[in-house]
């Protein structure tokens, strides 16, 4: 036997493996999701997401400073308001919890990019992402409210608006409203391809946003579809999205790759709450090596084509990257 090709030559030592490594994670790839609630000194752990908290604004500032200290430059904020109503008033209130949190982070922490999630589900009593009539989520009336939300978020100082609601036409509605208010420089990171996923379960505990009737299958995508993902991404691209997101991440690596190949915009992927919870839970049971598995999952998301990864592991793993 005379073997010429021996791939193992490049695997023999850590140094040679580092030399030929194709995909590298950096803290700057990460966006750190944070949940902000009313009160002071509140740091309430989410049962199904160990290490993730509902934070009052003062605690939020501390958390962002720690994250910034380990090299995380971007956060995405989710508001958990005390008051919810049928039309999600607190989503677009000038002094809403999210708007106050954005102002505080921008004022207190230097060099951190604040992304505002743009949706109504955390603010509506029924837990749906839009206005309801006769059991249906209405599309166009919801767009108006999302546009108002985006403007108040930009006024508060949000650097990027990230609409996650999956109404048709949300990118152009938000773009026009931002431009009319003088925020033509504020980019939109669109949750372009968002599946109706069971992996959002723990988030709904964190944000207290579980739908009170029905589910989100009437506006979020069917997990079985991939051509439809391209269509959704194309529509958001045409409407002026600056970045495209795929969500969840690990069960949809094929979709991340397909969107990467079709579009030259930056591609983001969201490693969602259920992906985090599974790794944490199995790690706690001693059934997997938590840190190793987390890094492997994050690496695979980047390898599939994501430029930006939203992950609850951001702060914890920022200085553990291979």
Catalytic residues: 194, 247
- Listed in sequence order, the residues at least 6 apart from 261 whose beta carbon sits closer than 8 Å to its beta carbon are 305
Whether the Cβ atoms of residue 270 and residue 246 lie closer than 8 Å to each other: yes
Could you give the CA distance from residue 60 to residue 246 in angstroms, rounded to a whole number? 26
CB nearer ligand PBG, residue 142 or residue 273:
273
| Residue 17: HSE in the Cβ half-sphere, 13 Å Cα cutoff | 6
Could you give the CA distance from residue 268 to residue 208 in angstroms, rounded to a whole number? 25
Q: Does the footprint of ligand PBG cover residue 311 (CB under 6 A)? A: no
Could you give the CA distance from residue 283 to residue 302 in angstroms, rounded to a whole number? 22
Q: Does the footprint of ligand PBG cover residue 145 (CB under 6 A)? A: no
Q: How far is the CB of 45 from ligand PBG (least distance, A)?
A: 16
Q: Which of residues 146-165 bind ligand PBG (CB under 6 A)?
A: 164-165
Q: How far is the CB of 121 from ligand PBG (least distance, A)?
A: 5
CB nearer ligand PBG, residue 272 or residue 301:
272
CB nearer ligand PBG, residue 58 or residue 168:
168
Query: Strand, coil or helix: what is 23?
Result: coil
Q: Does the footprint of ligand PBG cover residue 314 (CB under 6 A)? A: no
Beta strands in the chain (DSSP E): 30-37, 43-46, 49-56, 74-80, 113-118, 131-133, 136-138, 160-163, 189-194, 243-247, 267-271, 308-311
Q: Which of residues 255-274 bind ligand PBG (CB under 6 A)?
A: 272-273
CB nearer ligand PBG, residue 119 or residue 304:
119
Could you give the CA distance from residue 222 to residue 194 in angstroms, rounded to a whole number? 9
Sole binder of ligand PBG in the list 75, 102, 109, 119 (CB under 6 A): 119
Q: How far is the CB of 3 from ligand PBG (least distance, A)?
A: 47
Q: How far is the CB of 208 from ligand PBG (least distance, A)?
A: 11
Q: Does the footprint of ligand PBG cover residue 53 (CB under 6 A)? A: no
Q: Does the footprint of ligand PBG cover residue 123 (CB under 6 A)? A: no
- Listed in sequence order, the residues at least 6 apart from 259 whose beta carbon sits closer than 8 Å to its beta carbon are 192, 193, 229, 230, 233, 244, 246, 267, 305
Residues 196-215 as x/- pattern, contact with ligand PBG by CB under 6 A: ----x--xx-----------
Residues that bind ligand PBG (CB under 6 A): 117, 119, 121, 129, 164-165, 200, 203-204, 272-273
């Amino acid at each position: 036997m005379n073997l010429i090709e021996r791939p193992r030559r490049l695997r023999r030592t850590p140094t040679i493996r580092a030399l030929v490594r194709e995909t590298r994670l950096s803290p700057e790839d990460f966006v750190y999701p944070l949940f902000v609630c009313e009160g002071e000194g509140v740091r309430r752990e989410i049962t199904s997401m160990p290490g993730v908290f509902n934070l009052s604004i003062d605690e939020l500032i501390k958390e962002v400073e720690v994250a910034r200290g380990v090299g995380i430059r971007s956060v995405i904020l989710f508001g958990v308001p005390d008051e919810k109503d049928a039309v999600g008033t607190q989503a677009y209130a000038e002094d809403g919890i999210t708007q106050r949190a954005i102002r505080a982070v921008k004022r207190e922490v230097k060099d951190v990019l604040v992304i505002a999630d743009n949706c109504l589900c955390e603010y509506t009593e029924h837990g749906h992402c839009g206005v309801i009539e006769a059991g249906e989520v209405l599309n166009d009336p919801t767009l108006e409210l999302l546009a108002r939300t985006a403007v108040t978020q930009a006024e508060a100082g949000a650097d990027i608006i990230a609409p996650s609601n999956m109404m048709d036409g949300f990118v152009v509605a938000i773009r026009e409203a931002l431009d009319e208010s003088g925020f033509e420089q504020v980019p939109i990171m669109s949750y372009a391809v968002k599946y109706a996923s069971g992996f959002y379960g723990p988030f709904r505990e964190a944000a207290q946003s579980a739908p009170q009737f029905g589910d989100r299958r009437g506006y979020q995508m069917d997990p079985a579809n991939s051509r439809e993902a391209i269509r959704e991404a194309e529509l958001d691209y045409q409407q002026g999205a600056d970045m495209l997101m795929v969500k969840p991440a690990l069960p949809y690596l094929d979709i991340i790759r397909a969107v990467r190949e079709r579009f030259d915009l930056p591609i983001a992927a969201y490693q969602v709450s259920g992906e985090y919870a599974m790794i944490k839970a199995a790690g706690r049971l001693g059934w997997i090596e938590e840190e190793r598995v987390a890094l492997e999952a994050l690496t695979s998301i980047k390898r599939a084509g994501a430029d930006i990864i939203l992950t609850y592991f951001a702060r914890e793993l920022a200085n553990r990257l291979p």
